[in-house]
Amino acid sequence: MATLFARSAVRAAAQTPRLAFPKATYSPTISRWSRACQQPPAVTAATRRFLSSTPSPSEQPRLRLGSEAPNFQAKTTHGEIDFHDWLGGSWAVLFSHPADFTPVCTTELGAFARLAPEFARRGVKMMGLSADSLSSHREWVADINEVGATDVQFPIVADSDRKVAFLYDMVDAQDLENVDEKGIAFTIRSVFVIDPAKKIRLTMMYPASTGRNTAEVLRVIDSLQTVDAKGVTTPIDWRVGDDVIVPPSVSTEDAKKKFGDVREVKPYLRYTRI
């Protein structure tokens, strides 16, 4: 019986008339659909040059908090450096800029330079990076000093080939359409705070259109150094001198032994002073 039904189904399918599609409308449609599925989108010459300078996924390090800051060698306004050697056993801030002789970047470098004594007081080195040549950097520093009424003393990496920018993933995906005359994407505004063990402790990423807040960079360094030294955590908008938070891993009893007075708002939210 099953065989009889199967044979009947085959005969019915064979006798069913097929839909007729005019060749002029059917074939081109299928052809266009097929090409779209089988071929990649067109790549412009500028995009091709950009992609050729991008490291493959296997080469790109995962810059997670707590991972080691990638090492690199580069020319800077203070000579050739090996980044890890330059770091030594110090805290450091590495911050990038899209280009020399641009308005936002000029104000930022001046602001960091004016706060250099505050960074030094915290034992923090600074290193800037801009996607231009060393000779351009040297000329640009004169403008920064004039506009910012300051004296830039920290090194600035010359990264015209964007090797460090790609190593630290300092490129916005939208910059495939925002390339320079070489067809290479500009860098975004990134901040990396690195501790004495060369571990990345904080990252900040800003679009090229938005200037950073140097006071916030100092604030988070104060928080990180306090957390490491005192074994506490810091609440929102915390500044030196404000109450800190007892970590959940520390009991109230142990916290009172360690810190003295402990103010309990909730069993999981306890403040103290250090």
Catalytic residue ranges = 105
Q: Which whole-number Å values give the CA distances from 150 to 122, 157, 261, in the listed order?
A: 20, 19, 44
| Closest by CA position to 224, among listed 205, 238, 206, 204 | 238
Which residue matches tokens 């300051």?
A: 150
Residue linked to tokens 């010459």: 45
Q: Do 82 and 117 meet the contact criterion of CB atoms below 8 Å apart?
A: no
Cβ contact 201:223 at 8 Å: no
Closest by CA to 124, choosing from 152, 89, 168, is: 89
Contact 90, 126 (CB under 8 A): no
Query: What is d(CA 9, CA 85) in angstroms, rounded to the nearest whole number?
Result: 79
What are the C-alpha distances in Å from 130 to residues 79, 99, 197, 199? 15, 5, 25, 22
DSSP for 175-205 reads GGGSB-TTS-BPP-EEEEEE-TTSBEEEEEE
* Tokens read off for 100: 């020399």
Q: How far is CA 54 from CA 39, 158, 166, in A?
A: 22, 18, 7
Q: How far apart are CA 172 and CA 209, in angstroms?
A: 12
